[in-house]
Amino acid sequence: MRIVLLGPPGVGKGTQAKLVAAKHKLEKISTGDLLRAELANRTELGKLAEQYMRQGMLVPDDIVNKMVAEKIASLGPGAGFLLDGYPRTIAQAVALEAALQTLGANIDKVIAFQSDENTLLERIRGRAEIENRSDDDAQTALNRFRIYQQETAPLIDHYKKSDLLIEINASGDIETVNNLVEEALAG
């Protein structure tokens, strides 16, 4: 199984990714986590990514595409995986399709989470208290919402056209959302 999780900042992609990957024994590829690990290790890639992330901007496509393509290639052709937070632009979706084609693989389902902005801001505020992420202050979060609408929301139509999209209301608690995800995967 190869799954993509899409959705606005703070909607719970990372939270659901952990649950789904554990249950279905899938490799979890979270671009946010991979980039934060590069930052923590002060690599050249990390230093570059930090300039974008702390302003709530997307890291340039070529950097993220290369990072994901290498990760997918390292898993081998038959591997199941879950992509959390990738693709986030149409250019990333095109790059993902090319990377999968070289392996003779394809995406099975794209899950798009939705919720209202107040719920998302509340969750990000809660995460800020626990995780101290530099992109979780209110102003940066608003910037991330704006960029989501411009850059990432068009992916919903992109995946609707290929009939892979399942839209899920992510406003409920973690267990409720997880039940909806499992129903969608079973269907």
Which residues does 108 contact at the CB level (< 8 Å), separation at least 6? Answer: 1, 2, 3, 164
Would you say 52 or 90 has its CB closer to ligand B4P?
52
Helices (H), 8-131: 13-24, 31-40, 44-53, 61-75, 90-103, 117-131
109 forms beta bridges with: 3
For residue 14, state whether it binds ligand B4P (rule: CB under 6 A): yes
Would you say 7 or 105 has its CB closer to ligand B4P?
7
Q: Among residue numbers 98 through 137, which ones bind ligand B4P (CB under 6 A)? A: 123, 126-127, 135
CB 147 within 8 A of CB 56: yes
* Angle of CA points 119, 18, 42, to nearest 5°: 90
DSSP state of 27: E
Other Cβ atoms within 10 Å of 34 Cβ, number: 19
Shortest Å, Cβ 56 to ligand B4P: 6
Helix then strand count (H, E) for the chain reads: 9, 5
Other Cβ atoms within 10 Å of 165 Cβ, number: 18
Q: Which residue's CB comes closest to ligand B4P? A: 32
Would you say 104 or 130 has its CB closer to ligand B4P?
130
- Residue 21 tokens read as 């990957």
For residue 11, state whether it binds ligand B4P (rule: CB under 6 A): yes
What string marks each residue from 15 to 34 as x (binds ligand B4P by CB under 6 A) or -?
x---------------xx--
Would you say 104 or 169 has its CB closer to ligand B4P?
169
Of 27, 46, 52, 75, which one interacts with ligand B4P (CB under 6 A)? 52
> Site residues (CB under 6 A) for ligand B4P?
7, 9-15, 31-32, 35, 52-53, 56, 58-59, 64, 85-86, 88, 92, 123, 126-127, 135, 144, 170, 172-174, 177
